[in-house]
Amino acid sequence: MRLRVRRAKISAELRDKFRTIWEVVALALGLGVLPVGQTGMPSSVLRMVLFNQQPAIDWLREKRDQEERRETLGYWSMLILAAIAAIGACIAAYPIVKG
């Protein structure tokens, strides 16, 4: 459960590029090499990610932290709402049980 998001210290330009090609960032880091395409040259997107590996890793960590925070807040809000509903059901049932 994470409430604090570790912000990546990367430039706004690089952050925008990663946001645009977010599907490729994790794939390129997972490959770890520059695969040769049909033309014999890796794509510019793969090269951009692999030449900026540490910022890409930091950016992915930030995105993972944001998702984990969203899940944590969702979990706690549902737990609180369930507790409120249980208390409300007990209050509503009290006159019936007492009477």
Concatenating the DSSP letter of every residue in 20-52 gives: HTHHHHHHHHHH-S----TTSS--HHHHHHHHT
Output the pLDDT for position 95: 92
**Count of beta carbons in the 10 Å neighbourhood of residue 8:** 19
Task: Note down pLDDT in tens along the chain; length 99 residues.
Answer: 777 888 888 888 888 888 887 777 877 777 766 555 555 556 777 778 878 888 888 888 888 898 999 999 999 999 999 999 999 999 999 999 987
Angstrom distance (rounded) from CA 3 to CA 69: 5
DSSP 8-state assignment for residue 4: S
- Looking at residue 37, its pLDDT comes to 56
